[in-house]
Structure 1
């Protein structure tokens, strides 16, 4: 039993949903062999089209149109062609419907899309091999980054997975800086309107800056100096912890040391820690990886109105506080992992750019 995903192509239905969804009678399902293709008509515009590389035989829902490369055409070449940026852009144009995530594409419109005249079979195979090799290099970099993420988790659990009884039990509110407003959300309602954003000035941080669980610049938003003076109490400082409490819930990031003057929006809860008790990088890891923290969040958000996070829930989160020296050792080790990860990410960006260039040239006859 197979299903089709946007990013990972064909996967076992049980692996994707942790259970079998199909009925016992699958006589209406489509038989899929190795190198066959299928696409999701409701998500074709997002690139939900794939070649079966992994399974010798399987069945897939009749919802998905299926096809295979005709004689004289290399399946690998066809795969790269149907996943090229040019064709994905064309899929978006043939999708119709009023619901953005459910715009449908018809088989007829798909088959009528124009494609470059393919070269000889031997040339197709050469092009497919080049693109496969470039894609393989990118995949190895992504795998290395995933291993480094797992290493950070392993370091945390090896050092703090079994808290000592001597470590004091506190809350986030108790480990925050004692100054007033150490835990705060951003301005609400008419205090800050989107119409007041400017092209430059003081930065405004939102969900996009923390959604990947590490700080990143997403959409740039600014307010004027005059507006900032009215909202200065919402200023974000280096080492603060940003927690998403609206939209995508429960993501968090540590504000970097080189942050310019900035405030946070109402979509974030910002925590300034008491540096005598807490290292920000450790609290960040505790929030994401501690069994105690995850259990608390599951229980409290389940009972909260609309299942959301709020500043009160963040304040009361339990924290078993290890010695500050141990937290600093953890932060040093994580910083070394992050430096290595940053190197891999830079190489990955170059490889992705190389692949995009090779793919573009391939279907213009320039490779």
Structure 2
């Protein structure tokens, strides 16, 4: 691909946002105001009721750059809004030399590089001068347009996939709520709602549930195995100096995400130390919840993990699998309204900065008959697998886009106009 060295900044028209007065800010009425925190997701949370110049009105599709903190380059994907301070709008002055569609993609790695090399000791600030001195090798404008078209096509596919994931996550949330409040009848259908068949339900401390279900404290569902609920080791039991570069994984909150165990390990103990601390060893199908840092994330230990050590930042629970299916407990700890309500009650409505053992042990959960749990779990597994498949497709697309950007923006792959 024939490419020419251009001082890109010379062809950019840059508009810095206006410092709109906060006395005119509103959360309900006025003209949408785009603040730096809004550009990443194109969301609107603030409105402006004061006077403004039309030149600061941003349209759908305009290119914006956040100039503080982590620098983000985004296309605005929402209704018209006002360009607030510390945001930059990017246009081109000579579209016969530089394509605006292409420069959006060109700016992504350029701005990322500035972000990565900027000292992180203080709040980072991007300067207009950083854009004005931008330069690089660019193909002619027709080839720029073709490259942009290819990247826009994969972007559209990524956005559609993302929307599909969000749709199925919403469907899953509604489905699981119905399954845990109505359950499944022997013919595989949802039980009629309480307002349709009140005789099928009973009132419990966590709300109305089917009559044949139990409402049990979490501690009564634990296995009879020793150390069925543990957190630790603490203090001198395991010193930082005793961690090793390779060995038995020592789990932390970074391994536990919402309904997902992340098998990326950064801390290890020796086999001898693991044996000394064996009461903190995990078991397959254990339910683990984070109790410090990001409190309340919960995942199930996967079958492939043979040996690992829990930590003081986690509660690790071994359930009696003849009574309850661990994945169903995990879903409730992550999402169920009755669980969140219990946690709020235990903190008197404040922010939970830790979870005490008593809070978990006395937590009441609905307990359907085991055969009904199996039917609920099958539905849970099916919708979860569908979402995971879409997420894997999404990650493949983003990886493909990254490779395409590298190829097209560096000229490694030639594009032919008219293809």
TM-score by length of 1: 0.86
Change (3 A) 1:317 1:110: farther
Cα deviation, 1:145-201, whole Å, max 9, x if unaligned, reads 333333432331222124214422221112112334211112112222333222322
* Corresponding residue number in structure 2 for 1:58: 81
Q: Which whole-Å CA distance do the structure 2 matches of 1:224 and 1:109 have between them? A: 49
Q: Which whole-Å CA distance do the structure 2 matches of 1:218 and 1:89 have between them? A: 26
> Are 1:340 and 2:383 counterparts?
no
> Are 1:204 and 2:250 counterparts?
yes
Q: Which whole-Å CA distance do the structure 1 matches of 2:76 and 2:94 have between them? A: 17
Change (3 A) 1:275 1:10: closer
Q: Which whole-Å CA distance do the structure 2 matches of 1:305 and 1:355 have between them? A: 40
> Are 1:161 and 2:196 counterparts?
no
Q: Which whole-Å CA distance do the structure 2 matches of 1:305 and 1:66 have between them? A: 38
Q: Which whole-Å CA distance do the structure 2 matches of 1:161 and 1:47 have between them? A: 45
Structure 1 stretch 224-233 or stretch 257-266: which is displaced more?
257-266
What SS class does the counterpart of residue 38 from structure 1 fall into?
strand
What SS class does the counterpart of residue 139 from structure 2 fall into?
coil
Residue in structure 1 matching 2:283, options 234, 237, 247:
237
Q: Which whole-Å CA distance do the structure 2 matches of 1:82 and 1:311 have between them? A: 50
What SS class does the counterpart of residue 94 from structure 2 fall into?
coil
Q: Which whole-Å CA distance do the structure 2 matches of 1:342 and 1:306 have between them? A: 30
Q: Which whole-Å CA distance do the structure 2 matches of 1:306 and 1:166 have between them? A: 33
Residue 97 of structure 1, CA deviation = 5.7
Listed as ranges, the gaps of 5+ residues in structure 1 are 15-19
RMSD: 2.6
Q: Which whole-Å CA distance do the structure 2 matches of 1:207 and 1:298 have between them? A: 21
Residue in structure 1 matching 2:64, options 31, 38, 48:
38
Residue 4 of structure 1, CA deviation = 5.2
What SS class does the counterpart of residue 262 from structure 1 fall into?
coil
Residue in structure 2 matching 1:107, options 128, 135, 142:
128
> Are 1:88 and 2:109 counterparts?
no
8 Å contact kept, 2:39–2:66: no
* Corresponding residue number in structure 2 for 1:119: 139
Listed as ranges, the gaps of 5+ residues in structure 2 are 1-31, 183-208, 415-419
Residue in structure 1 matching 2:157, options 133, 137, 153:
137
Residue 316 of structure 1, CA deviation = 1.9
Change (3 A) 1:59 1:287: same
Number of residues paired by the alignment?
Answer: 353
Residue in structure 1 matching 2:343, options 297, 309, 316:
297
Instruction: Please list, as runs of the form range in 1=range in 2, the aligned pairs for 1:309-328 lying within 5 A after superposition.
Output: 309-328=355-374
Higher-Rg structure is 2
8 Å contact kept, 2:287–2:301: yes
Residue 142 of structure 1, CA deviation = 2.7
Change (3 A) 1:352 1:196: same
8 Å contact kept, 2:245–2:268: yes
Change (3 A) 1:151 1:36: closer
Change (3 A) 1:219 1:106: farther
TM-score by length of 2: 0.76
What SS class does the counterpart of residue 169 from structure 1 fall into?
strand
Residue 30 of structure 1, CA deviation = 3.2
Structure 1 stretch 277-286 or stretch 325-334: which is displaced more?
325-334
> Are 1:70 and 2:93 counterparts?
yes
Richer in helix (by share): 1
Cα deviation, 1:109-150, whole Å, max 9, x if unaligned, reads 3432x3423322222211111001112222333333333333
What SS class does the counterpart of residue 336 from structure 1 fall into?
helix
> Are 1:256 and 2:302 counterparts?
yes
Residue 335 of structure 1, CA deviation = 2.4
Q: Which whole-Å CA distance do the structure 2 matches of 1:327 and 1:270 have between them? A: 22
Change (3 A) 1:8 1:175: farther
